[in-house]
Amino acid sequence: MTGPSLQDDPRPTEAFDARHTDLDRLSPLALVQTFADDQLQALQAVQAAVPSLTAAVEAARGRLEQGGRLIYAGAGTSGRLGMLDATELTPTFSWPPERAVPLLAGGLRAMREAVEGAEDDADAGAGDVCAAQVGPGDVLIAVAASGTTPYVLGAAAQARAAGALTVGLSNNPGTPLLSAVDCPVLLDTGPEVISGSTRLKAGTAQKIALNILSSALMVGLGKVYGNLMVDLRASNAKLEARALRLVQHATGAPLPDAQAALHAAGGRVKTAIVMLRLNIEAADAEARLARSGGHARATLGETEQAPDRTPPG
CATH (domain of 192): 3.40.50.10490
Say which CATH number the domain at 249 has: 1.10.8.1080
- Which of 88, 192, 240, 281 is catalytic? The answer is 88
| pLDDT at residue 21, rounded to an integer | 83
| pLDDT at residue 113, rounded to an integer | 84
What are the two backbone dihedrals, phi and then psi, of residue 201, each rounded to the nearest 5 degrees?
-70, -30
Other CB atoms within 10 A of residue 66 CB: 9
SS3 content of the chain, % helix, strand, coil (to 5): 55, 10, 35
Decide if 116 is catalytic: no
| pLDDT at residue 58, rounded to an integer | 98
| pLDDT at residue 309, rounded to an integer | 61
Q: What kind and span of H or E run contains 140?
A: strand 139-144
Distance CA 155, CA 126 (A): 4
Q: Which of 220, 247, 278 is the last residue of a domain?
A: 220
Q: Which residue range(s) make up the domain with 54?
A: 45-220
Q: Residue 95, by phi and psi: left (phi above 0), alpha (psi -120 to 50) or beta?
A: beta
Let me know whether 257 and 146 are in one domain: no
In the chain, the number of structural domains is 2
Q: Would 196 be classed as within a structural domain?
A: yes
Other CB atoms within 10 A of residue 154 CB: 23
Distance CA 270, CA 92 (A): 13
* CA 6 distance to own-chain centroid: 31
Distance CA 286, CA 289 (A): 5
| pLDDT at residue 234, rounded to an integer | 74
Let me know whether 106 and 143 are in one domain: yes
Decide if 302 is catalytic: no
Other CB atoms within 10 A of residue 59 CB: 15
| pLDDT at residue 1, rounded to an integer | 42
Amino acid of residue 118: A
Let me know whether 144 and 272 are in one domain: no
Let me know whether 246 and 206 are in one domain: no
Q: Which of 186, 220, 254 is the last residue of a domain?
A: 220
Let me know whether 140 and 265 are in one domain: no
Let me know whether 194 and 105 are in one domain: yes
Low-confidence stretches of the chain (pLDDT beneath 70): 1-8, 304-313
Q: What is the pLDDT of residues 3-40, one digit of tens each?
A: 455 556 788 777 777 788 888 899 999 999 999 999 99
- Which of 65, 98, 113, 119 is catalytic? The answer is 119
Q: What is the pLDDT of residues 150-176, one digit of tens each?
A: 999 999 999 999 999 999 999 999 999
Q: Which of 220, 250, 266 is the last residue of a domain?
A: 220
Q: Would 13 be classed as within a structural domain?
A: no
Let me know whether 245 and 105 are in one domain: no
What are the two backbone dihedrals, phi and then psi, of residue 126, each rounded to the nearest 5 degrees?
-65, -40
Q: Would 287 be classed as within a structural domain?
A: yes
Let me know whether 134 and 250 are in one domain: no
Let me know whether 166 and 199 are in one domain: yes
Let me know whether 213 and 247 are in one domain: no
Let me know whether 87 and 197 are in one domain: yes
Q: What kind and span of H or E run contains 170?
A: strand 165-170
Let me know whether 57 and 181 are in one domain: yes
